[in-house]
């Protein structure tokens, strides 16, 4: 999936991606273009409330990223959902590309 964002210098964009941590998958990213134009930080997400239940359930928290525009131009960030121990051995389960135009 590809998404676009238009930001002014100094603005922040929050990106929430559906997690799959209970199966060992984590979101990671690479800056494919404009690495000096944006900063990307992983943000803490709320922990799910623990419930007592007779039936076992699993929950994967979403991943939240903060992208801050630092200078005018175009940036491209590729987010990949993958198991860390399989990086380079298997393709990501999912990808999300963020194209950013900064004024």
User: What CATH number does the domain containing 23 carry?
Assistant: 2.60.40.2020
Q: What is the number of structural domains in the chain?
A: 1
- pTM: predicted TM-score of the whole model, two decimal places: 0.83
Confidence class for position 52, pLDDT limits 50, 70, 90: low
Confidence class for position 53, pLDDT limits 50, 70, 90: low
CA distance 32 to 38: 11
Residue 48 has pLDDT above 60, yes or no: no
In a domain, 51, yes or no: no
In a domain, 50, yes or no: no
Q: Which two tokens stand for residue 63?
A: 């991943």
**Bridge partners of 11?**
none
Q: What residues make up the domain containing 80? A: 2-41+60-102
Average pLDDT of 28-47?
90
Please report the pLDDT score of residue 45 as a whole number.
76
- CB atoms inside a 10 Å sphere around CB 97: 15
Residue 32 has pLDDT above 90, yes or no: yes
Q: Comparing 6-15, 44-53, 67-76, 89-98, which segment has the lowest mean pLDDT?
A: 44-53
In a domain, 46, yes or no: no
In a domain, 49, yes or no: no
In a domain, 55, yes or no: no
Which DSSP string corresponds to 4-22? EEEE-TT-EEEEEE--BGG
In a domain, 18, yes or no: yes
In a domain, 30, yes or no: yes
């Amino acid at each position: 999936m590809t998404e676009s964002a238009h930001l002014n210098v100094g603005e922040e964009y929050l990106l929430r991606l559906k997690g799959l941590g209970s199966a060992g998958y984590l979101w990671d990213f690479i800056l494919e273009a404009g690495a000096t134009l944006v900063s990307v930080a992983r943000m803490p997400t709320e922990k799910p409330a623990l419930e007592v239940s007779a039936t076992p359930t699993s929950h994967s928290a979403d991943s939240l990223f903060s992208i801050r525009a630092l200078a005018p131009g175009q940036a491209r960030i590729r987010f990949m959902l993958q198991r860390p121990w399989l990086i380079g051995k298997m393709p990501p389960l999912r990808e999300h590309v963020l194209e950013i135009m900064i004024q």
